[in-house]
Structure 1
């Protein structure tokens, strides 16, 4: 038996979430069974737990798009019992039972060895948020954006992706401008390495097709009007890495930034990202992450806390990262 959060739907179509014991026989098919030590609470997990977006593809579902733990059983030589592993994405927690449980069974190609520099807790303090932030940063680098290019804007800076992006960009020598709707968190963001902190309202007030060009690059987690404002204020030949939709899926913009300033907008897809790029991102994180700063932006919760914290996360009341302790 193992403990899990289980999302179910009633005959009336209402969603229920409860922590309950399940049997190993109920686990989905897979090559590797993992004893989960830590998971994490991401924006997508919060949407799944609250039912505020159709994240879950079928019911019942164990949510959790991330986990880190130790292999208990393996039908493949790629992973051996006792080996520490992690997982991000691949539809886990959406169409395949996920990491908010003390045990998970998954396909071997979805797993990565846990980098030796990280504990399971630290890996989940990063989780999909940190891995996505690193994919964004690698994209800026591939597009030729260097610390000498100019300031880098990061929206949603107090959230998971944003806070880790600020920390890693600063470590790489970039001048980071952090955007937040909670200016009281400016000291926290400056401790992470932000060069400047500006209110979200500054971007919300931008409505012109082209605004004053200021930033060489940007990492955007918001989408919607905020992404349009970001693109309108990027320097010529700057780059925007877009990885989220917290402010909406629409994109009320014009082509002006792209054809008059040569701005490049790159979408970041982390769920089914190729394994080689995943490994490279985690290798970069292993070198660049300041573990003391990572701990400062991490809050540990229990499985039972997750539904309540999901509501807080969607309301913008969570700073940094939430890790879920599972292995007793």
Structure 2
């Protein structure tokens, strides 16, 4: 019986040659299509070459560096295996940088989104001169981060900064505060600057989402007796869920890679209270000149972003399905 079943399930004698011919025919057909569209491949070739050299090859070389003690000022670059990864796991400063990055992200992203939503709701109303206000709130977004950081560093100055001047004049504080030198105030100061520079982007995205909501839904809710806050809660916020998810993803990814304002305003101080993951990576690369360990930190950040992005994609799919 088993022999009969095996014979029945066995392919016919001419099936294997037929499959081989189909594979060969498919390869010839693919080759003909590539040759027919050769001009298109010539056009994309420069971009593919640049991407391969400056992205794929650089990524592969960076991964190679993680297995070496690669100092840019010493000729000897020994192979150390997984020692860099083991050092990273037991590196307390690296753990501190992760906690600082999480603190920065958890404070800046929600504030930016909430203030951006409030501004979008306000500037979506038929106000006089609202185009001017929209432009004014969006200007910090297009201002380079270095310029914004230098400006806010001057505002925070303990001797002649405007913040201390008006707070002392208003009798809110008795003496000037050292905003960027106080371990308890440095990170909140950087967060405030980041919210100021990013709230315009959230406002514009939320404005686009608000203008995509059909006006008939608000009319129906109003006829049912819903007030302004009820319409915002039951109509606006649910329909802005895709917009909110988009801003959440972009905001967290950007916050995990924060560097410029830390570099310009605090240099990771005081006592590493504002040292983020990217700034710690920068220190190992261009202060201690150990590209091997810096590359290891970079791949740790890459792994974190990869896991987070996968979680966000799943969240997007769940939101779209619901």
User: So what's the TM-score if we normalise by structure 1?
Assistant: 0.25
Structure ranking higher in helix proportion: 2
User: So what's the TM-score if we normalise by structure 2?
Assistant: 0.25
Structure ranking higher in strand proportion: 1
The structure with higher relative contact order (CA 8 Å, sep 6+) is 2
